[in-house]
Amino acid sequence: MFNGIIKNKGKIVKIYKKNLNCTLEILTKMYFTKNDIGSSISCSGACLTLEGYNKRIAKFFLSHETLKKTIFKFIKEGDEVNLERSLRFKERMSGHFVQGHVDTICEVKKIYNVGRSWLINFKLNNKYKKYIVEKGSITINGVSLTIANIYKWGFQIAVVPHTLKLTNLLNLKAKDFVNIEFDVLGKYIKNFLKK
């Protein structure tokens, strides 16, 4: 479980693809010990298991399912990744409950500069519209954000300068893809109502 408050980034330095699987090596200032191996780390919103750590390089395995569902199918060396450790009990909760289970990806439609903040429009497949509510929570590349507006073609979020500085959202441009996780509470409610 995560809360979508990103304080660390990393850069992909090596990608090893074999058959339907993939291993990533990420250069990061995030500190790990041997005890952290096997723990869950949110990598741009996808919950991945830390397989190894050597100096400043963290190693993660991606299954075929993860590659199929996330932006990692498009990754290349040099790309930045948002990193977040899983929550500890008794930690302050600042964002919202984030599982690291990416629901889909969506495309950046347009970015507007508003002073030092950004408004970002995203195209969203109609079948996912039921999971978004205005002023509700959404996770984009692992970042906990609030939906500012909903449109026929998708939705809009506002990103403040502090969040832009700390995350890979600053690198976004039109036609880029992002990982999306909808609010878990909304998904459960929708599922109960369906039954």
Domains of the chain from N-terminus onward: 8-85 (2.40.30.20), 104-194 (2.40.30.20)
**DSSP H helices in the chain:** 64-69, 161-166, 184-194
Which of 34-48, 78-92, 133-147 shows the lowest mean pLDDT across its residues? 78-92
Q: What pLDDT is attached to residue 55? A: 87
pLDDT of residue 93 exceeding 70, the answer is: no
Tell which wins on pLDDT, 96 or 2. 2
Q: What pLDDT is attached to residue 92? A: 63
How confident is the model over 98-110, as pLDDT tens digits?
788 999 999 999 9
Q: What pLDDT is attached to residue 19? A: 80
pLDDT of residue 151 exceeding 90, the answer is: yes
pLDDT of residue 141 exceeding 90, the answer is: yes
Q: What pLDDT is attached to residue 139? A: 96
Strand, helix or coil for residue 131:
helix
Instruction: Grade residue 95 by pLDDT with cuts at 50, 70 and 90.
Output: low
pLDDT of residue 189 exceeding 90, the answer is: no
Strand, helix or coil for residue 67:
helix
How confident is the model over 4-44, as pLDDT tens digits?
889 999 999 999 988 888 999 999 999 998 899 999 999 99
The model's pTM is 0.89
Q: What pLDDT is attached to residue 18? A: 82
- Nearest-angstrom CA–CA distance, 109 and 114: 16
